Chains A and B, each alone.
Chain A
């Protein structure tokens, strides 16, 4: 089973700052990586898929990069509504399944 490790666990930042979150896979997953944002009491929301494609309606300040085992999510300038928990997720073709990283919390 592929394990995703996110770092750091928590980041304390201020609005306007640039931030880069990391997600590392235990083995190569090509570009089969997605990123989600979750706010308290809400379901996650898809931000990025296939490592670098923004989902519908996601602001351009969110960008993703990487392939193989190392991936990053960058927020170019933090808005107050961006303080949340971010999860990466990979998909495997066989067996067909999905796994998530443990999350990175962005806090003010």
Chain B
């Protein structure tokens, strides 16, 4: 099975860039089997798909956040990353990394809470 583990700062200052990484074990991010995906969940709210990256580096982003979002691969570490720029309090959420196939998310990380402070 695939295991994913998010890491990164739990506290980010408003207007700065949120940066998270997702370490993958049990699969190679170069295999082409999955879309490597970021999803977030605002406290007490539903799920929001942020975007994904495929092994060739092709990305797709949520149009509502596209201008602020960058997802990239680090094949040397078998991990992928999320950068979300110009954050505000509205970006406070639990951020999950996940591995998707066409129809949905097969494997999830445990999630990491990121709080944006002013």
Interfacial residues, chain A to chain B (CB-CB below 8 A): 1, 32, 34, 36, 42-46, 49-50, 55, 87, 89, 91, 95-103
Contacts and interface: CB of A to CB of B under 8 A. Distances in A.
Nearest to B48: A100
A45 B107 CA distance: 8
A7 B61 CA distance: 27
A49 B62 contact: no
A99 B49 contact: yes
B interface, size bucket: 20 to 34
Interface stretch (B24-32, B72-80, B82-90, B98-106): B98-106
A44 B96 CA distance: 10
Given A95-B60, A95-B63, A96-B60, A49 B104 contact: yes
Query: DSSP majority for the B interface?
Result: strand
Interface of B: 46-49, 51, 60-63, 96, 98, 100, 102-106, 108-111
Contacts of A49: 103-104
